[in-house]
């Protein structure tokens, strides 16, 4: 059978035409959805996301992964009842969209054909309406057996907005990126001691249409790029695989660095991996610690930010750490905390947490959280919280789960009096001496973090450390260590901040919570903690591969012995 030649796909419909189809089906549903004896919809919200994605990975001079796709996804929210009581309980935190029948009907047609989009919305809406009525009845049942003391309403009332952004459809420069990644990854051929090396580039262009029964009309476009250079090495003393990476978070295609800048990043990675091969693993540590701005950003994100998400103040099953602390001091005097998604750049960094309109159609706003160390407010979606009558533009989701209050760009600022880095290091040493300790910790980079906020689990947070040193209090000499991770409890850790820096660092990445994965940023000064605990990571020792990688095989079989001999000579011992 002869293969048919590939044809150019038809052009996508005009953005406003798509919006009009969504609006038309929403009006039809609002008027026609009715079941005798059941509440009718009082609010509806449709969203369509179309993402163009490219995923590239190169290793040893070859392209090992090259994938590109475009996909569309629909979202429908139907509220039955009224603004004071409806089908959503606990702010939707316990609503797992993947477990609902409607999860099977969220795909949008690839070509966004207008009739096909309307049919898909029609089908999704029918199922969502049935689910909404069932959830409403379950909410009523809960009122019989439980005292829902923290419920303050169902949905805030917001003024409708009309917001349009231009959309782009030009292809990503795939050929150029593939060539750059291949060339860069070829350098790993000279480093057989590095395992599973790779150069990755992921790019996504997200176009979004949103309409509500209140009259919101929104079209937006965002681009996210993540470039990673990474590798693993086997430590010389105990055979543990340790990982290091260099990550860039970008928002525009033209920001992808040229080859010389990428070469410099790879050089940094090679030096770090060489250092990690010889770095010791000290086990647990407790004592004073100095965190860079990037590391502090992760700590504030996990220990503070998640606990200021509005839904966590009212939902059953949540620990509600700060629910009763508005107006109380929770941080040292001189520190302000706010979240402002409208900030799109800081200190040369394009911010991943930047957006203009949230996923409920509310304009992004600055949310004041802490002033001079005193708690003033919370991150808010359209789910009401005590003491607040409206959203502050932080209702966010991955386009599949129900939006909830989430961080965008969390900013920690000092009101003056911050110390320079060298002065903070000296304060760190003084603090350790006053505690009778020989060592203190300096955490320069944190790779990732996690926390739990439910009342079932322990109230803790954890940070996966990417770069940490122990400093000798007497001599000031620093020693790189590995295989430890930061742990703490939120209130305790925040109360141990004794000084902060005049500098600010940026932390970026994806944040995972009940409403899915969303891009976020954090900006924070360096902070000095009077005490911080590091725990030993779970590690397993391995022997080296029995054979060297094919590109480094010279035919001999003494590689393991030679590596050990070189290691002894570096340490100054006899072979």
Q: What is the pLDDT of residues 153-162, one digit of tens each?
A: 999 999 999 9
DSSP 187: G
Coil, strand, or helix at residue 144?
A: helix
Q: Which two tokens stand for residue 396?
A: 């966010």
Is residue 455 domain-shared with residue 551, that is, in the same domain?
no
Q: In whole angstroms, what is the distance from residue 376 CA to residue 361 CA?
A: 24
Same domain, 157 and 298: no
| Average pLDDT for 90-101 | 92
Same domain flag for 419 and 556: no
Residue 135 located in a structural domain: yes
pLDDT for 318 equals 83
Q: How far apart are CA 442 and CA 438, in angstroms?
A: 14
The answer to whether the CB of 239 falls within 8 A of the CB of 543 is yes
Cα–Cα distance measured from residue 29 to residue 507, given in angstroms and rounded to the nearest whole number? 43
- For 106-148, what is each residue's pLDDT tens digit? 999 999 999 999 999 999 999 999 999 999 999 999 888 877 7
- Please state, in angstroms and rounded to a whole number, the distance separating the CA atoms of residues 373 and 371: 5
DSSP assignments along 505-522, one per residue? EEEEEEEEETTEEEEEEE
Residue 42 vs residue 4, higher pLDDT: 42
CB atoms within 10 A of CB 16: 12
**What are the φ and ψ backbone dihedral angles of 543, each rounded to 5 degrees?**
-85, 160
Q: Are 256 and 250 spatial neighbours (Cβ–Cβ below 8 Å)?
A: yes
Averaged pLDDT, 408-423: 93
| Residue partners of 266: CB distance under 8 A and separation at least 6 | 184, 187, 199, 229, 246
Q: Residue 473 — left, alpha, or beta (φ > 0 → left; ψ -120 to 50 → alpha)?
A: alpha
Cα–Cα dist 265/30, whole Å: 54
Q: How would residue 9 be classed by pLDDT, with cut points 50, 70 and 90?
A: low
CB 243 within 8 A of CB 448: no
Cα separation, 310 vs 75, whole angstroms: 22
User: Is 293's pLDDT higher than 60?
Assistant: yes
Rounded Cα distance, 273 and 275, in Å: 5
Q: Confidence class of residue 269 from pLDDT cuts 50, 70 and 90?
A: very high
Of 111, 135, 170, the domain-final residue: 170
Tell me how far the alpha carbon of residue 480 is from its chain's centroid: 27
- DSSP conformation class of 60: T
Total domains in the chain come to: 3
Do residues 144 and 22 both lie within one domain? yes
Mean pLDDT of the 264-293 span: 95
Whether residue 440 is found in the same domain as residue 570 = no
Higher-confidence residue of 113 and 323: namely 113
Q: What is the average pLDDT across 272-285?
A: 92
Tokens linked to 123: 């089908």
Q: Distance of alpha carbon 103 from its chain centroid, rounded?
A: 23
Report yes or no on 320 lying in a domain. Answer: yes
Tell whether the model's pLDDT for residue 249 goes beyond 80: yes
Highest-scoring range by mean pLDDT, 3-7, 23-27, 535-539: 23-27
pLDDT of residue 445: 94
Q: Are residues 21 and 157 in the same domain?
A: yes
Same domain, 159 and 301: no
Distance CA 210, CA 220 (A): 9
- pLDDT > 70: what percent of the chain? 95
Q: Are residues 491 and 548 in the same domain?
A: no
Higher-pLDDT residue of 315, 562? 315
Residues 569 and 486 in one domain: no
Check whether 567 has a pLDDT greater than 50.
Answer: no
Domain boundary among 116, 150, 170: 170
Nearest in space to 528 (alpha carbons), one of 281, 303, 287: 287
The region that residue 353 occupies, defined by phi over 0 for left and psi between -120 and 50 for alpha, beta otherwise, is: alpha
Determine, yes or no, domain membership for 263: no
Please give the structure tokens belonging to residue 466.
Answer: 């990417």
Q: How far is CA 114 from CA 18, 51, 54, 117, in A?
A: 6, 17, 26, 5
Q: Does one domain contain both 531 and 547?
A: no
DSSP state of 379: B
- When pLDDT is averaged across residues 502-525 and rounded to a whole number, the result is 96
Whether 275 maps to a domain, the answer reads: no
285-316 burial, b for 16+ CB within 10 Å, e for fewer? Answer: bebbbbbbbbbbbbbbbbbbbbbbbbbbbbbb
3-state DSSP percent of the chain in helix, strand and coil, to 5: 25, 35, 40
Question: Is the residue at 243 inside a domain?
Answer: no
pLDDT given at position 1 = 44
Give the pLDDT of residue 560: 46
Contacts of 307 (CB under 8 A, 6+ apart): 321, 322, 453, 490
**Are 433 and 503 contained in the same domain?**
yes
Q: How many residues does the chain have?
A: 575
Q: Cα-flanking dihedrals φ and ψ of residue 248, to 5°?
A: -120, 130
The label of the residue with tokens 């978070």 reads: 249
- Given a cut of 70, whether residue 2 has pLDDT beyond it is no
Over residues 207-212, the mean pLDDT reads: 98
Residue finishing a domain among 142, 170, 198 = 170
- Sign of the Cα pseudo-torsion (436, 445, 465, 295, in order): positive
User: CA–CA distance from 225 to each of 149, 172, 212, 262, 294 (Å)?
Assistant: 44, 11, 30, 15, 19
- Give residue 387's pLDDT band: very low, low, confident or very high (50, 70, 90): confident
Contact 404, 395 (CB under 8 A): yes
**CA 260 vs CA 181, 184, 225, 264, 544: distances in Å:** 12, 10, 19, 6, 33
Residue 282, C-beta contacts closer than 8 angstroms, at least 6 positions apart: 470, 481, 484
pLDDT for residue 557 is more than 90: no
In a domain, 452, yes or no: yes
pTM of the model: 0.92
Residue 459: per-residue pLDDT: 80
From residue 274, alpha-carbon distances to 193, 445, 448 in Å are 9, 17, 22
DSSP β-ladder status, 484-488 and 478-481: unpaired
Q: 500 and 402 share a domain?
A: yes
Residue 42 lies in a domain: yes
Q: Write out the two tokens for 120.
A: 């898909």
Q: Please tell me the predicted confidence (pLDDT) of residue 565.
A: 38
Mean pLDDT across the chain: 92
With contact defined as beta carbons under 8 Å apart, do 412 and 337 qualify? yes
pLDDT score for 453: 84
DSSP states of 219-277: EEEEEEEEEEEEEEEE-TTT--EEEEEEEEEESSGGGSPPHHHHHHHHHHHHHHHHHHH
**Residue 133 placed within a domain:** yes
Asked if 408 contacts 340 with a C-beta cutoff of 8 angstroms, the reply is: yes
What distances in angstroms separate CA 482 from CA 235, 292, 544, one per listed residue? 10, 17, 19
Q: Which residue has the tokens 């476009």?
A: 221
Residue 69 has a pLDDT of 95
**Residues 407-420, mean pLDDT to the nearest whole number:** 93
Domain extent, residue 441, equals: 285-536
What separation in angstroms does the CA of 462 have from each of 266, 446, 517?
A: 28, 10, 18
């Amino acid at each position: 059978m002869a293969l048919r030649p590939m044809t150019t796909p038809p052009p996508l419909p005009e953005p406003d035409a798509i919006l009009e189809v969504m609006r038309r089906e929403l009006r039809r549903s609002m008027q026609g959805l009715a079941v005798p004896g059941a509440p009718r919809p009082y609010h509806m919200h449709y969203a369509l996301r179309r993402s163009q994605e490219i995923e590239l990975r190169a290793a040893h001079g070859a392209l090992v992964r090259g994938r590109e796709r475009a996909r569309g996804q629909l979202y429908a929210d139907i509220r039955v009842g009224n603004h004071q009581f409806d089908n959503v309980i606990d702010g939707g935190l316990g609503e797992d969209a993947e477990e609902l029948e409607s999860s099977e009907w969220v795909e949008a047609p690839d070509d966004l054909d207008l009739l096909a989009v309307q049919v898909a919305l029609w089908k999704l809406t029918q199922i969502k309406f049935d689910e909404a009525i069932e959830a409403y009845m379950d909410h009523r049942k809960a009122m019989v057996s439980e005292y829902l003391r923290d419920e303050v309403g169902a949905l805030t009332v917001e003024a409708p907005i009309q917001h349009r952004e231009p959309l782009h459809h030009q292809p990503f420069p795939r050929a150029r990126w593939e060539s750059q990644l291949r060339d860069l990854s070829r350098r790993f051929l000279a480093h057989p001691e590095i395992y599973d090396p790779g150069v990755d580039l992921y790019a996504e262009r997200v176009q979004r249409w949103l309409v509500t029964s209140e009259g919101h009309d929104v079209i937006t476009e965002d681009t996210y790029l993540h470039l990673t250079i990474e590798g693993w090495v086997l430590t010389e003393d105990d055979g543990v695989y340790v990982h290091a990476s260099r990550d860039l978070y970008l928002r525009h295609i033209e920001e992808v660095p040229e080859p010389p800048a990428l070469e410099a990043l790879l050089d940094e990675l090679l030096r770090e991996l060489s250092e990690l091969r010889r770095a010791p693993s000290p086990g647990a540590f407790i004592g004073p610690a100095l965190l860079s701005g990037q590391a502090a950003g992760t700590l504030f994100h996990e220990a503070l930010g998640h606990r200021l998400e509005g839904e966590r103040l009212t939902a059953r099953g949540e620990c509600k750490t700060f629910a009763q602390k508005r107006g109380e001091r929770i941080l040292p005097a001189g520190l302000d905390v706010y979240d402002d998604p409208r900030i799109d750049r800081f200190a040369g960094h394009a911010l991943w947490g930047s957006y203009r309109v949230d996923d409920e159609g509310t304009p992004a706003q600055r949310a004041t959280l802490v002033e001079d160390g005193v708690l003033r407010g919370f991150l808010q979606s359209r789910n009401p919280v005590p003491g607040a009558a409206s959203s502050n533009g932080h209702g966010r989701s991955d386009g599949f789960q129900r939006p909830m209050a989430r961080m965008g760009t969390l900013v920690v600022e000092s009101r003056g009096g911050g110390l320079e880095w060298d002065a903070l290091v000296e304060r760190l040493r003084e603090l350790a001496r006053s505690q009778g300790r020989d060592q203190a910790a300096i955490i320069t980079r944190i790779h990732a973090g996690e926390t739990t906020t439910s009342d079932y689990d322990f109230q803790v947070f954890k940070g996966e450390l990417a770069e940490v040193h122990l400093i000798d209090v007497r001599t000031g000499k620093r020693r790189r260590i590995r295989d430890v991770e930061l742990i703490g409890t939120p209130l305790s850790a925040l109360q141990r901040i004794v000084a902060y820096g005049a500098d600010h660092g940026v932390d970026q990445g994806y944040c995972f919570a009940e409403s899915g994965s969303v891009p976020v940023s954090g900006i924070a000064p360096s902070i000095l903690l009077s005490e911080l605990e590091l725990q030993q990571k779970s590690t397993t020792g391995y022997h080296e591969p029995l054979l060297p990688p094919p590109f480094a095989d010279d035919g001999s079989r003494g590689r393991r012995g030679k590596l050990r001999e070189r290691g002894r000579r570096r340490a100054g011992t006899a072979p």
